[in-house]
Amino acid sequence: MVDITHKSTTLRTAIAQAVVKVSKPETISAIENDTVPKGNVFAMSKAAGLLGVKRTPDILPDCHPLPIEFTGIEYKIDGLEITILFTVKTIYKTGVEVEAMHGASVVALNMYDMLKPIDKGIEIHAIKLLTKKGGKSDFRDKFRKDLTAAVVVCSDSISAGHKEDKAGKAIITKLKTCDITLSEYVIIPDEKEIIQKKAKSFEKQGVDLIIYTGGTGLSGRDVTPEALIPILDRRIPGIEEAIRNYGQDRMPFAMLSRSVAGTINNTLLLALPGSTNGAKESMDAIFPSVLHIFRILKGARHD
């Protein structure tokens, strides 16, 4: 199955349809008058659909097991055609399009099975996805495409040439996927004055996003949060909480994260962990959705 461990949980909705076409008006009358020998067609087919949608990952090997939190089934009769509308909702990391189409298919097959004793000319067609919502595809194109970013690696050992930077490069890779232009990538010692000077310099240059990595641990030598918090105009706790919650779902030590998020005028500043996994997961936790901030910051709206 596709790896979805990096994805964030969101509300996902899918609506699918299937069309059952009978061959004579008497079949429709039997359905409406509840005289079909095998029972109530709509009620029993709905029950079959409810069972079917829950069993989707058991039938289709690449589908993830996921919580089905709502299933809605509607019928519309138009002449000799019965249109089945099948809605599925979940709050999860992946969508429910296949579940909706599978559910609609099962409903249609159950209707066929119940009606075949009285109608030998039944057809099933037009099984398709009508709409889907949720996930990154609903939001990606709403973000500005002209954003610039600076990545600052805070590490005494890396700046001295004793270690190779991997966290900063992981951040840059994520930025590229979000269509953000890298204006500068620098490595500096984890020293308060240098950290503050870099932040103020990038803000004056008009950089939209400044991302620090490193210096957020609990060691007495890690001073990035202490350096950055005093120069912020405002903290944004929701971003910090999102990073920690995302990490905590993946490993128990994320509760110790001292990641910082805030703004200097219209520049967003982030301080992320210095480990490669910590930096990568922090970026996965908030990007691209965090870019919505540039539509609401004063003076940053570009309509």
- pLDDT tens digits, one per residue of 45-93: 999 999 999 999 999 999 999 999 999 999 999 999 999 999 999 999 9
Q: Which of 288, 284, 243 is nearest to 262 (CA)?
A: 243
Active-site residues, by number, are 113
Give the CATH superfamily of 140-296.
MoaB/Mog-like domain (3.40.980.10)
Q: Mind spelling out the 3-state secondary structure of the chain? A: CCCCCCCCCEEEEEEEEEEEECCCHHHHHHHHCCCCCCCCHHHHHHHHHHHHHHCHHHHCCCCCCCCCCEEEEEEEEECCEEEEEEEEEEEECCCCHHHHHHHHHHHHHHHHHHHCCCCCCCEEEEEEEEEEECCHHHCHHHCCCCCEEEEEEECHHHHCCCCCCCHHHHHHHHHHHCCCEEEEEEEECCCHHHHHHHHHHHHHCCCCEEEEECCCCCCCCCCHHHHHHHHCCEECHHHHHHHHHHHHCCCHHHHHCCCEEEEECCEEEEEECCCHHHHHHHHHHHCCHHHHHHHHCCCCCCC
Q: What is the pTM of this model?
A: 0.76
Assess contact for 15 and 100: CB atoms under 8 A: yes
The 10s digit of each residue's pLDDT in 162-219 is 999 999 999 999 999 999 999 999 999 999 999 999 999 999 999 999 999 998 877 7
Model confidence at 26, pLDDT cuts 50, 70, 90, reads very high
The CA distance from 93 to 29, in Å, is 43
Question: Which CATH class name applies to 10-135?
Answer: alpha beta
The 10s digit of each residue's pLDDT in 247-276 is 888 888 878 889 999 999 999 999 999 999
Q: Where exactly does CATH 3.30.70.640 map onto the chain? A: 10-135
Q: Where exactly does CATH 3.40.980.10 map onto the chain? A: 140-296
